[in-house]
Amino acid sequence: MADGTPQSEITVDGLIGLVRAYNPKLNEPLIREAFAFGTEMHEGQFRHSGEPYFTHPVSVAAILTEQQLDDATIITALLHDTIEDTKASYSEVERLFGLEVAELVDGVTKLTNLQLNSTETKQAENFRKLFMAMSKDLRVILVKLSDRLHNMRTIKSMRPDKQQQKARETMDIYAPLAGRMGMQWMREELEDLAFRVLNPDGRQSIIRRFITLQRETGDVVQKITTDMRAELDNAGINADVFGRAKKPYSIWRKMEEKELSFSRLSDIYGFRIITDSEEDCYRALGTIHRRWSAVPGRFKDYISQPKTNGYRSIHTTVSGRDGKRVEVQIRTGQMHDVAESGVAAHWSYRDGVRSRNPFAVDPAKWISQLTEQFDAEEDHEDFLEAVKLEMYADQVFCFTPKGDVVKLPRGATPIDFAYAIHTRIGNACVGAKVDHMRVPLWTRVKNGQSVEIITAQGQTPQVTWLDIATTGKAKTAIRRSLREVDRERFIKLGQELARSAFAHVGKKTTDKVLRLAAKNLRLKNTDELLARLGSSELTGRELVQTVYPDIRPQSAEQIDAARALVGLEAGQAFDRAPCCTPLPGERIVGITFRGEGVRVHAIDCDRLSEYEDQPDRWLDLRWHEGSHPAVYGAVIDITLGNGAGVLGRICTLIGEASANISDMEFLERRPDFYRLLIYVDLRDIEHLHSLIATLEAESDVAAITRSRNKNARPAAERLA
């Protein structure tokens, strides 16, 4: 929802006009009296911006008119700071405006006085008080959310430290609460306003990339919206179609969760189809799926299974123009009203009477369901965990039949649940029951559900499980089991691939060569080596270089490091950006610097976003194909078991892989392990991958990854 009229300009007549637009039977005299009372009580008080303080309560009331709320809530907004910040008393507010308004104002005052401390115990106490206040009258939290929204819209006038505090509080508490209540528009705006304070660079980066994408592809939203309307018209379905790019924070969160760069992120656009009837919702779904390809596992029917806050809609993700994924939500007009207002829809007015939306939930029942499970919790940490279970959707907490809690990522399935318990349970899984009902294995489990895994002797994982599972643990176990099942076939295929790979470099495939390769890769025998080769976990080129590291298939002559790039002008100097340290074989781009030549970045480097508005400085570069010398530095982040001779063996392996160690930096030392950075000189990206694979096979290596310093800047760097 938009900010609407500038808040400082809203007069009493303007506010009454906003209320009258949806409630012609408003109590105009009482609203005028509340406006006058608030003006008088806040006389002489000013906000950090220098505006008269009463502009804030008026703005909060205006935000609540967008939700078409009743007179008592609007008046509460006007008076919500009077008991706390002025000479007005509870009894005076009750005498002038009635018991209902006085209790609402008192409830908002108590919420305002809650200090959300960082310690878990204090936070749990405050959550408990917050839910108790909500349970008395949910309109209290509606006023408080609108109060927080206006404060976040005007947060720039506050001190930087207060901005950070309020933004973090908003992101952790108020935005998730708005989402839990079904007020998705408010959640998104609160998140975006907090994101602007907490990570302004990240937000600007997303916005710049959107601008670049729109410049390259045109108005994708308008194109897809037009296509959808045409398809629905052809099917005889009367519906409105709306499209938009998702909010910067929503995109940032997806990038963080999926560890993807912006260019690889899909479904950054969302579309809504508003129909006349429930039947048309399903007809529209069929029309969309006939025209565009549905993305497996991205369909949810909240019409047949509504959320507890009354939310109803069909969600699907399809591949649109140019293979881009777009999310589509389909619902009726009444469902849409609830989707916008959430639990607040219960108080919405239309034409002077409370709107009788059949999908609006009874707030008393909703809040009682939410608080019922908390009342019995005595332990503060248990209570806070229960609150987070309800408030945050990034993780799912399910229960075994014995009551043990299993934590899974959002979107997890019973397959993930089974492997989370034990690999043996996962491998033998033949079915699942959720809340005592048999469900397909591709079902997405939800918070608080009880999951029972049905097993059978002799069962083995199916290939289709790889598409169903979401956790790395489950996928790894499934692949390992599948490899064992198809072991003989993979071994035969591996024998042929090995023969071909060695023949390509003029060598023979002997038992001795295969045993040496297996030893170098720390595999138990040659059958294991051939099985991995046949299952594509190991390439023929990697196999050859394991035994003959100095053989380069492309060319016997090495490429001069000073002339390693294609695309530079004659004599133009270059260096590798320290933030991403690209290696030969990686896709790259160059950024020109006046007097310093060209800085080379990996194509997925986050720092490139700083130059998106300077296209004239970009150079299209690539590495020369062929054999490069081992002079290109890279950094490996490795965690090792703290045992005798472990580090020595790792250094030996690096040497055997024809990589040179230039430096080491210890990050952590513990009794059972230590973590360090190893600086190595390599030939190219395949050399790095081969080295990591070799080290990863070592039993004492607990974790290993390539390390990149995203914040690194050359000392001499200056803007062109």
d(CA 496, CA 475): 27
What pLDDT is attached to residue 134?
Answer: 64
Query: CATH homologous superfamily of domain 7-198?
Result: Hypothetical protein af1432 (1.10.3210.10)
Best CA proximity match to 385, nearest among 118, 115, 119, 120: 120
Better pLDDT: 394 or 246: 246
Q: Report DSSP state, residue 274.
A: E
Quick check: 531 and 491 in contact, CB under 8 A?
Answer: yes
Quick check: 342 and 309 in contact, CB under 8 A?
Answer: yes
Q: Identify the bridge partners of residue 399 per DSSP, sorted by sequence position.
A: 405, 450
3-state secondary structure of 405: strand
333: tokens are 């007009």
- 603-617 burial, b for 16+ CB within 10 Å, e for fewer? ebbbbbbebeeeeee
- Helix axis angle, 55-66 relative to 71-79, nearest 10°? 160
Q: Is the pLDDT assigned to residue 688 strictly greater than 70?
A: yes
Calculate the CA 35 to chain-centre distance: 42
Best CA proximity match to 470, nearest among 451, 431, 428, 442: 442
Residue in 3, 33, 51, 84 annotated catalytic: 84
Beta strand 349-350 pairing with 632-641: unpaired
Q: Is the pLDDT assigned to residue 680 strictly greater than 90?
A: yes
How many H-runs (helices) and E-runs (strands) does the chain carry? 29, 22
What pLDDT is attached to residue 392?
Answer: 45
Best CA proximity match to 454, nearest among 468, 469, 470, 434: 434
What pLDDT is attached to residue 275?
Answer: 95
Calculate the CA 437 to chain-centre distance: 30
Quick check: 180 and 311 in contact, CB under 8 A?
Answer: no
633: tokens are 């530095």
Q: Is the pLDDT assigned to residue 419 strictly greater than 50?
A: yes
Ordered by start, the domain boundaries in the chain are: 7-198, 201-354, 394-483, 486-547, 561-720
In this structure, which CATH number among 3.30.70.141, 3.30.460.10, 1.10.150.120, 3.20.20.140 belongs to the domain 201-354?
3.30.460.10
- For residue 509, the one-letter residue type is T
Q: Which CATH architecture is the domain 394-483 placed in?
A: Roll (3.10)
- Polymer length in residues for the chain: 720
d(CA 659, CA 550): 11
Banded pLDDT at 718 (limits 50, 70, 90): very low
Catalytic residue status for 85: yes
Burial grade of 3 (CB within 10 A; 0-12, 13-18, 19 or more): middle
d(CA 388, CA 173): 10
Quick check: 343 and 323 in contact, CB under 8 A?
Answer: no
Place of tokens 């046949």: 534
Q: Is the pLDDT assigned to residue 30 strictly greater than 90?
A: yes
What pLDDT is attached to residue 720?
Answer: 33
Q: Report DSSP state, residue 124.
A: H
Which residue intervals of 5-54 are DSSP H helices?
12-20, 28-41
- For residue 447, the one-letter residue type is N
Residue in 3, 33, 85, 527 annotated catalytic: 85
d(CA 148, CA 170): 8
Percent share of the chain, pLDDT over 70: 83
Sheet order of strands, 632-641 included: 660-669, 673-682, 632-641, 701-707
459: tokens are 């069962």
Quick check: 176 and 392 in contact, CB under 8 A?
Answer: yes
Q: Which of 476-485, 522-531, 659-668 has the lowest mean pLDDT?
A: 476-485
3-state secondary structure of 331: strand
- Per-residue pLDDT tens digits for 340-372: 877 777 677 666 666 677 777 776 666 666 565
> What dihedral do alpha carbons 641, 647, 652, 653 form, nearest 10°?
30
Is pTM beyond 0.85? Reply is: no
Best CA proximity match to 134, nearest among 278, 298, 309, 286: 309
Per residue, what are the HEC states of 637-663? Answer: EEEEECCCCHHHHHHHHHHHCCCEEEE
Instruction: Determine how many CB atoms are found less than 10 A away from the CB of residue 680.
Output: 21
Quick check: 500 and 539 in contact, CB under 8 A?
Answer: no
Quick check: 561 and 617 in contact, CB under 8 A?
Answer: no
Q: Is the pLDDT assigned to residue 435 strictly greater than 70?
A: yes
Quick check: 336 and 280 in contact, CB under 8 A?
Answer: no
- Per-residue pLDDT tens digits for 444-475: 888 778 899 999 888 888 878 888 888 777 88
Please spell the DSSP secondary structure of 596-629, one letter per residue: TEEEEEETT-GGGGGGTT-GGGEEEEEEPSSBPP
3-state secondary structure of 682: strand
Q: Which of 102-111, 115-124, 182-191, 424-433 has the lowest mean pLDDT?
A: 115-124
Q: At 265, phi and psi to the nearest 5?
A: -80, 135
- Per-residue pLDDT tens digits for 111-129: 776 555 444 445 555 556 5
Instruction: Calculate mean pLDDT across residues 303-315.
Output: 83
Q: Is the pLDDT assigned to residue 186 strictly greater than 50?
A: yes
Best CA proximity match to 30, nearest among 69, 78, 88: 78
Quick check: 1 and 66 in contact, CB under 8 A?
Answer: yes
Banded pLDDT at 629 (limits 50, 70, 90): confident
- For residue 172, the one-letter residue type is D
Beta strand 632-641 pairing with 673-682: antiparallel
Q: Identify the bridge partners of residue 677 per DSSP, sorted by sequence position.
A: 637, 665
What pLDDT is attached to residue 193?
Answer: 93
Place of tokens 């429930």: 278
d(CA 366, CA 343): 8
What pLDDT is attached to residue 367?
Answer: 67
Q: At 639, phi and psi to the nearest 5?
A: -110, 125
Quick check: 432 and 425 in contact, CB under 8 A?
Answer: no
Place of tokens 């003006």: 39
CATH number of 561-720: 3.30.70.260
Give the N- to C-terminal CA distance of the chain in Å, as an integer.
41
- Per-residue pLDDT tens digits for 376-411: 444 444 445 445 544 444 567 778 887 777 878 778
> What dihedral do alpha carbons 101, 102, 103, 104 form, nearest 10°?
50
- Nearest 5 degrees, angle CA 604-CA 607-CA 610? 120
